[in-house]
Each structure stands twice: as structure tokens, then as C-alpha cells.
Chains A and B, each alone.
Chain A
Amino acid sequence: MAIVNLQNVTYKYPLTESLALNNINLQVNEGEFVAIVGPNGAGKSTLCYTLAGFVPHFFKGELTGMVEVAGVESQKSKLHEWVLNVGLAFQNPFNQISGAKYTVYEELAFGLENIGIPRDEIKIRVEDAMSLTGIRDLADRSPYSLSGGQQQRVALTSILVMQPKVLVLDEPTSQMDPIGTREVFGVIRQMAHRGLTVILVEHKVEWIANFADRVVALKDGSILLEGTPSEVLTSDLLAENGFGISRYTSVARKAKAQGLWKKERLPVTLDEAVEGFALTPGPSPEGRGE
């Protein structure tokens, strides 16, 4: 049963000519983990804002088609009701900190206070979410004293406590260093394990390949390609259209052209590449590079 249902969604920002989203049709099932890839300007963030209700309620502009989550239509809903169903986190962790709270614990409670959750339940929810994302040790720190990766984990947790039906994450690791990236993906992995419905925009394709059920490739506001991570991320179309692709994929594509990659499907991850290249005939691995 699709929890997210977009039909013929087309959108134009105010005062602009071009379509930011052009006839998008997308269904996401409950518990599914969908990754969205695409070059800059493909409409990824706009799609996130549309799912999270900020298009059209915050950005205005012209939206046509139907955006439906859990059986409710976005256009017929109010933003403050809509956000209870769809949680949104985005790139810059610093700007996601409310600024109204002095500790991480209070920061996590902020959203729950806003929607009138009783105190005892706030505490339960905050503590559960902190355990899930592994930030218990940060509880008493000031959100402003944290590293980028820690701040982003706090931002993700602050959305998790709201217990939305769908989580929308717009490039949560794009501003992160390698440690921050690993930390944030650790949290996302937990979400995937818990069977949450997650829609993740992400450039780092090797990570996507590890836990997405499905990948949607977006280009110029339209869906170019949709399928399993392996199908989509190794497609020639992606390389031709300026998408970020794994180095393993591109080197294997070259190798294949020279007859040095024997498998049908190109690799996305290191393990797939190792497995595939092991089949390559030639000198024994020990002899290579001498």
C-alpha cells in the first residue's frame, strides 16, 4: 500500500519561468527506503519540499497534480498538520538548530512541546530517539558546541522524535567531512533497519547501494529512471546525463569495453567490484603490477 502518492505533479516557483518539477509520478510504499539522485538543479530539493508540504504552503508558486501522504492531500491540508506526517531534514545542520534551546535534550523536545505532547511522553520519546541515533552522550551539550556530524545527528533525531509517517532527508551528508558522513549514515542505517519509510536525496552512491530498496534518478524536474539501486546506479544513462556515479562503476565500464569485466551487471560498491574483477582472466593476482 503506497503511503506516498504523487500524481502528475508539476510545480513552478513564483517569479520563474521554468518548471522545477515536471509531471512527477511517484509511489512509495510503507517501510520502503527510496533514494533520489540527480545533478544540481534536477529538482531534488524541490521534490523534498513538495513532499514535506513547504511547496506550495511556504514557497507559494503554482502546483498542479496530486500530492498525497497517508491518504491526505497536501493542497487540502494545513502546513502545521502536514508536518506531523512528513518529517524533513536538510543539508546545513547549523540552520536546523532552533536556537531556542540550551541543551541537545531540550532541542529534541522543542518540536514535541510545540505540538503539545505531555511532559512524561516527551521524555520517553526523546530518550528512545537518542538511543536509536546514538547521541545519548550529547544530551547535556549545547547544540552550538557540536561538530557538524553531531549537529546533523541531532537534527535527524529532532525529526525522528516527532514520529512522522515519512522521513524526507535532503542531502544530509553533503556538508559533512568523512567522519560526519559516517556518523550520519550510521543513523540512516538504523532508520532503514527499523523499517521507517525514508526518502533520501544523496550524492554518495556507494552508501545508497547499501540500503536503498529503490533509486529514483531525477533530471530537469522529471524522473529519468527508476529501479533497484544496481539497475539505476550502473545505467549508462546516468553517466551520460551528468549524474554522480561510483568510481567502481565507471572503471568497470571502461574495463568492460576492453573485455576486462566479465559480468553482465556493473558494480556500485567495493565488494561488488572485487567480486567482479576477480573473474578477470590474466596474470595471477600476485603477479599484477610488477
Chain B
Amino acid sequence: MHERLSFYVHRESFLHHLNPLTKLTLVLGLILVAFMAPFYWTPHFLILFAIIPLGFLGRVAYQYFNAALKLILPAAGFLFIMQALFQPFEGQELFRFYFLHPTLESVMFAFSNATRIIVMVSSFTLLLLTTHPSELMSDLTRRGLPPQFAYVIISTLQILPQMQAKAQTIIAAQRSRGLDTDGSFVKRVGALVPLVGPLVFGSLVEVEERAIAIEARGFTSTHPKTSLREIPDSNLDRIIRWFLVVIVIVTVGLKIWLS
């Protein structure tokens, strides 16, 4: 019930010590290069020579491979099969099974797409594994992201599990009043009102009280906010960010030039 929806793993590593914006730039850079690069093997190359090394560099390789095996690979695999089988590409037919007749082209296309998705999800996973959500939000707020926006994102992540627990209590309370939540579809739909009503009202009360509570702690103060966490932003960070921007520009340039 008290689980937090945060993937962050506390470690001392090069990646952990990078500025959150640098890591965000790295994520976006990897994604853009994977999707824009004009060479077929680029995304595969990125997985081998960027994503996996970054996992080791951030000392979260174990957690990353865990997530990859349980979540990323199955999803990408599913995407690969669907696209390989159903993409109507002309070309060399591999086999025929009833209405399915995948071609080499469709398989190649699906493979490349699935790899791109792996790069995208993996780079976000690495970001979340090595960046504390508060740190990410503090840094983005410092750079101009509205604090209300940052607050909504983080508090929602934390309060959702609590809402779930509350919904369970409401269901129990209404069943205790003889409400039958099993049975026919009509019965179940009818049972929704007594469940949703208290949840919505309860949330409204909570939102008002929470608004008062954070207001009482200066949330709307016009002073520039400070941060408890020291968020590093070194020259190295700046160099890496500019380097990534240049790589993205070169990739886009290559794509335009070669097409």
C-alpha cells in the first residue's frame, strides 16, 4: 500500500552525478538518432554501444536488464511479430500460412522498428533508474517549468496508490450494505454509482485540504524557490549537452543529404 511509484535506485555513479537535464537531453538525443539516422543498423548499434554501456556506467545494469527482460523485450517482441506478419510489404515471401505471408522486407522493417522502440523505452528507463524524481522536477522547475506542473506530476505518482486503497475500502463498505458487486453486467454497472460517488467526493475534500496545507507552507510564494538537493550542473554537463545537440543535427543533416 505504501509502495512508491518510483524506479529510482540510489547509487554513486557517473550517470547519477550528471545533471537531470543532461540525462534528459541524452534520452531525447538517443531517441532522435535512433529514429532519424539514415543507416539501417543505427538503433542496433545504439543498444550495444550506448544503452548497455550506460546501464553499467550508471551501476544499474541489473535493474535495467530486469526491466528489459520482463517489460521491454516482451513488448518489443509483440510489436515485431505483429508488424512482421501484418505489414503488407511487397517482396521476397518467406512462408505462407493461411492468409499470412510475411516478406523479408516486412521482417526487416519490423526488426528495425522494434529496436527503435527498445532504444526509446530503454533510455527512459535508464533516466528513471538514475534520476530521483524530485531532482528531475526541481531542476526543470529551476529552468522554468511551472512548479504547479511539477507538483501535479510528482504528487499524482505518490497519491495514486493511496487512492487505490481507498477504493478498496469503499467497495467493502458498500458490499457490507448488501450491494452485490458480482453477477450480471447490468448489476455491475448499477453498482458503480455507490463506488464512484464517495471516491470522487472524498478526493474533492482531500484536494481542498491538501491545497490549504501546501499553501500554508508557502507554495505560491513569489520568492524564487530553492532546493534542498544540490543539483550538479558542471562544465562537463554543458559539454555533453552541446555534443548531443551536434550529433542530432548531424544525424538530421545526413538524413536530408542522403535522401
Contacts and interface: CB of A to CB of B under 8 A. Distances in A.
Interface stretch (A105-113, A171-179, A212-220, A262-270): A105-113
Given A79-B220, A115-B221, A144 B134 contact: no
B217 A159 contact: yes
Contact of B228 (A89, A94, A119): A119
B214 interface: yes
A162 B213 CA distance: 13
Given A98-B214, A99-B154, A101-B134, A113 B225 contact: yes
Given A79-B220, A111-B217, A144-B4, A99 B225 contact: no
Size category, A interface: 35 or more
Interface stretch (A26-34, A80-88, A249-257): A80-88
Contacts of A222: none
A97 B150 CA distance: 16
Interface residues of B, number: 39
Given A99-B158, A145-B2, A119 B230 contact: yes
Interface in A110-136: 110-119, 122-123
A260 B129 CA distance: 72
A130 B229 CA distance: 18
Given A114-B218, A116-B223, A116-B224, A102 B213 contact: no
Interface string A40-70: 0000000001001010001000000000000
A80 B220 contact: yes
Given A52-B216, A158-B217, A159-B217, A99 B2 contact: no
B162 interface: yes
Contacts, number: 117
Contact of A80 (B137, B155, B213, B218): B218
B249 interface: no
B155 A99 contact: yes
A88 B226 contact: no
A54 B208 CA distance: 12
B219 A142 contact: no
Contact of A122 (B2, B205, B226): B226
Interface in B148-177: 150-151, 154-155, 158-159, 162
5 contacts: A80-B215, A106-B228, A115-B218, A118-B226, A122-B226
Interface of A: 49, 52, 54, 58, 79-80, 83-84, 87-90, 92, 94-102, 105-106, 109-119, 122-123, 142, 144-145, 155, 158-159, 162
